[in-house]
Amino acid sequence: MSLLSYETSQNMLDLLQVNSQRSENVSLSSSLGRVLAEDIIAQHNDPQFPTASMDGYAVIHSDLDGKIISIVGDNPAGSDEKRTVKSGECIKTFTGSMMPHGADTLIQIENVTVEEGKIIINESVPKGSSVRPVGEGYRAGDVLIKKGTKIGFVEIGVMAALNCVMVKVAIKPRVAVISTGSEILDLGVNSDNPAQIRSSNNYTLAALFEQAGAEVVQLGTVGDDKNLIMQTFQNALLSADILVSTGGVSVGDYDFVKDIVPRLGAEVIYKGVAIKPGKHILVAQKADRFVLALPGFAYSSTVTAILYVLPLIAKMLGRESAYKAVAAKLGEDFTKRSRLTEFTACNVSVEDNEYFVDFKDKKVGSSAILTNMLDNSALMVTGEEDGDLPQGTLVSVILLESF
């Protein structure tokens, strides 16, 4: 069987047309974790006027040489200060207050002694000290948060400061997840058959897709029954943007999924990619909906979901990329196990702003070892042309915490 190269499969995936224009308005307090569907643009300068950044006295800087200045009043934060500071005068001004007209410097409380309505300068300050200039934070017209940004606590704070009551966000793509195979036992189901395997794939992938910003429809498990699988897939595609299945895509007698997908009226974009794990992956499209059939082993299905499902979710959300990839140095020799593009669970550390990779406590074995991805692991990518790699080689690494 001829297999697509990994690079070709990713290029073809990137060329698929998806609907990334769907959006809705939600309240600011409900927008955490959602993806912005428009740029957030400043409507005014911040601050809009010179502002005190500490508690002190607003003065004309040249008056500091005189050592003694008369206090003519207070200027609490939030007050609409109208007075103008004249030579020989100062106004006590608090953090966040508008600087009084005429004053160009704020001398901190700690730098003066107050006696009989006057301040005595104990330690001078530079001109403009402790004054936030107009537009220090941002200028009117600045793009503060770009479309496609996943909203976190900082974005919430910035938008609150801009008085964004409602936020335009991308509608979450709906992803249906199902595990196939008569050997799969769903959570909570008891069995006396020791050959059955407890289902984890559909829960792993559901969590992965939710973390990536999708709405997940959990379909559980279905046995090796062609008609039942067909009906389940048809029902899922009535409402899901993406249907993701695990199991049934290899070449065994009970691997029905690869035969069912074309019968759904879906066009198979490709089946089989030169990657390890996951070479039997199938990607298909039916109108504006997608079917991705992934291998059944836990590590295989998780890796292929990261590589092929997350980019589709990202595109539907209007995001530029699904994950972050960095260059890292091998901290030890690496033995490549195949002539395919391999994705190997690894540990990543940062030293002097440089990424390093090692494989401490990572087990070498089948594509079923999901525990290799615990402890903030990453995926190291080695190409078809790569052989064994010596310590110090620069490699590409997908950071799993970047979803």
Tens-digit pLDDT profile for residues 331-359: 999 999 999 999 999 999 999 999 999 99
Confidence grade of residue 233 (pLDDT, cut at 50, 70, 90): very high
- Percent of the chain surpassing pLDDT 90: 78
Measure the CA–CA gap between 344 and 9, rounded to whole angstroms. Answer: 19
Confidence grade of residue 112 (pLDDT, cut at 50, 70, 90): very high
Query: In terms of Cα–Cα distance, which of 94, 83, 91 is closest to 58?
Result: 91
pLDDT digits (tens, 9 = 90+) for 180-230: 877 666 666 766 666 556 667 889 999 999 999 999 999 988 888 889 989
Confidence grade of residue 363 (pLDDT, cut at 50, 70, 90): confident
Confidence grade of residue 323 (pLDDT, cut at 50, 70, 90): very high
Would you give the end-to-end CA distance of the chain in angstroms?
A: 33
pLDDT score at 326: 96
pLDDT score at 126: 97
Measure the CA–CA gap between 283 and 290, rounded to whole angstroms. Answer: 7
pLDDT score at 252: 54
Mean pLDDT within 15-35 = 95
pLDDT above 70 for 1 = no
Measure the CA–CA gap between 361 and 376, rounded to whole angstroms. Answer: 13
Average pLDDT, the chain: 92
By the 8 A CB rule, do 332 and 347 touch? no
The pTM (predicted TM-score) of the whole model is: 0.86
pLDDT above 60 for 254 = no
pLDDT score at 253: 47
Mean pLDDT within 281-300 = 93
Q: C-alpha angle with apex 173: 170 to 178, nearest 5 degrees?
A: 160
Mean pLDDT within 303-322 = 96
Cβ burial 311-336 (10 Å sphere, 16+ → b, else e)? bbbbbbbbbeebbeeeebebbeebeb
pLDDT above 90 for 158 = yes
Measure the CA–CA gap between 215 and 101, rounded to whole angstroms. Answer: 54
Tokens encoding 39? 């740029």
Q: Which residues are within 8 A (CB) of 369 and not within 5 positions of it... i.e. 6 or more apart?
A: 298, 299, 363
By the 8 A CB rule, do 34 and 214 touch? no
